Chain A
Amino acid sequence: MQRRVVITGLGAVTPLGNTVAETWEAVCAGRSGIGPITKFDTSAFATKIAGEIKHFDPLIFVNRKELRRLDDFIVYALAAAEMAAADAALVVGDKNAERLGVYIGSAIGGLATLEREKESLIRSGPGKVSPFVIPSVLANLGAGHVSIRLGAKGPINCSTTACASGTCAIGDAFRMIAWGYADAMIAGGVDAAVTPLSVAGFNAMRALSTRNEQPEKASRPFDSRRDGFVIGEGCGLLVLEEMSVARQRGARIYAEIIGYGLTSDAYHMVAPPPSHEGAARCMRLAIADAGIMPAEVDYINAHGTATSLNDRYETEAIKAVFQEHSRKLAISSTKSMLGHMLGAAGGIEAIMATKTICTGVIPPTINLDYPDPTCDLDYVPHQARKKEVQVAMSNTFGFGGVNGVLIFRKYTGEQ
């Protein structure tokens, strides 16, 4: 028998704020978190902009010794997890430790550490490689360190499904609770991949915007002048709990998670198939999993990366799934403001969908100044919109042809 799963805590570190509250306020105000890259010298790079974390004090969450041994992605995960657990007023003890799990996805783990230590290896030889390199690079160490910090002894995993990593972590965590393998899960995604190799690699694929002279206008989902995505970094985590456990301890419930879809395009390693057939199937599966009709969906937080193909094909897929209802849907891409946070995107966008349901405010798609005629749905351009949202969907599609879709619903307190 499938149990019901609710969201009781949120935690995030993003290019628009080092808390969920700051990030949500900025997103609703339509502000951009994109600016010039400060982490490395971009003189030789085609793309010189990104959504970097700003004014973040890691020593709030880790001590100096820990800071030296942890890649940024692990620090962001610890920060978001501490904030999410505090937000949920989660108390972990002997009675529930083994029923609390951690699923934190990451597309690429400790890439910055890998790049730095490779240089050290070449410069100083193998004998000088730090013993902390491996634990700092492995992608599952975000989840690992969070489980240590919180004393969580339940199921632990790290989905590595590129841009869908965060979504898959949440979807899998949802299933673990629904099927009875856990009562609570910390779930979401993290990445800190604004590094020379990453930017150079994405540039070589012509995937990134090169609108360097106007960073805040560079991420333009669904706009006819879009020229690729803007890379971001950070972490977004939810606390998921079995509904009766949450109610019993008097937890504040943000929303319910009701559906999860996962499909493969089986088409091309990075490009979506025409009309993004795999994504359409995924949305349908999520809707069926949620036990709702397509017309019940009010809002979609789109994948909306601002690449030429995604935005056009995602629009076609939405139309194929929702038919006439697609004209009534509000759709927005918060990547227009946060950039594409890779593995963290699914986590932070689940938070966006949850906040939308709770607050009745739909975040905008900014920079939609010259709408693409092939993207002709309602993308909530420029300004946030006050609107009651009962059911929200979050789409994320990753390299390798992976599609992950989550569905959230307003929690009314009725059984």
Chain B
Amino acid sequence: MELEGKVIELIIEQLNVTREQCVPEASFINDLGADSLDLMELIMEMEEQFGVSISDDELQNIRTVRNVIDFLRTSGAK
């Protein structure tokens, strides 16, 4: 499965949302019902699954599904 697909699967599982809700512009907090703790755990799962590390600074820029996919692409995750 390509990167975008894997990311969406993870979000669906972690946040208990539907595929239809996971559009690139979807905001975790405003659209996908995530609170700050949900987001932290989601990021931890992503670090684990994609073998990357997200600094607290980089975390500030992660607000939407697209932000996550872009970050993982530039980090070289597959």
Residues of chain A contacted by B40 (CB below 8 angstroms): 131
Q: Bound complex: CA of A343 vs CA of B38, how far in Å?
A: 30
Contact B16 A131 (CB under 8 A): no
Nearest residue (CB) in A for B39 is A131
Given known contacts A131-B37, A132-B37, is B15 in contact with A65 (CB within 8 Å)?
yes
- Which residue in chain A gives the minimum CB-CB distance to B53? A127
Interface centre among B15, B16, B48 (most CB of A within 10 A): B16
Residue of A nearest to B33 (CB): A65
> What residues on A are CB-neighbors of B44 within 8 Å?
127-128, 130-131
Number of interface residues of A (CB under 8 A): 10
- Whether B49 is near chain A, meaning CB under 8 Å from some CB there, is no
Is the Cβ of B16 less than 8 Å from the Cβ of A69?
A: no
Nearest CB on B from A149, distance (A): 15
Q: A55 within 8 Å of B by Cβ?
A: no
Q: Mark B36-69, 1 if CB is under 8 A from A, else 0.
A: 0110110010001000000000000000000000
Cα–Cα distance between A63 and B18 once the two chains are bound (Å): 13
- Contact between A65 and B48, CB atoms less than 8 A apart: no
One digit per residue, 1 when the CB lies within 8 angstroms of any chain B CB and 0 when it does not, for chain A 122-145 equals 000001101110010000000000
A65 touches B16 (CB 8 A): yes
Select from chain B the residue with minimum beta-carbon distance to A135.
B37
Contacts of B16 in A (CB 8 A): 63-65
A64 to B13, CA, bound (A): 9
Q: Residue of B at shortest CB range from A134? A: B37
B14 close to chain A: CB less than 8 A: yes
Residues of B within 8 A of A132 (CB): 37, 41
**Residues from chain A with Cβ under 8 Å of B38 in the complex:** 65
In the A-B complex, list the 5 residue pairs whose CB atoms are closest, starting with the nearest: A65-B16, A131-B40, A131-B37, A64-B16, A131-B41
CB pairs A–B below 8 angstroms (20 shown): A63-B16, A64-B16, A65-B14, A65-B15, A65-B16, A65-B38, A69-B37, A69-B41, A127-B44, A128-B44, A128-B48, A130-B41, A130-B44, A131-B37, A131-B40, A131-B41, A131-B44, A132-B37, A132-B41, A135-B37
Given contacts A63-B16, A131-B37, A132-B37, 8 further A-B contacts (CB under 8 A): A65-B38, A69-B41, A127-B44, A128-B44, A128-B48, A130-B41, A130-B44, A131-B40
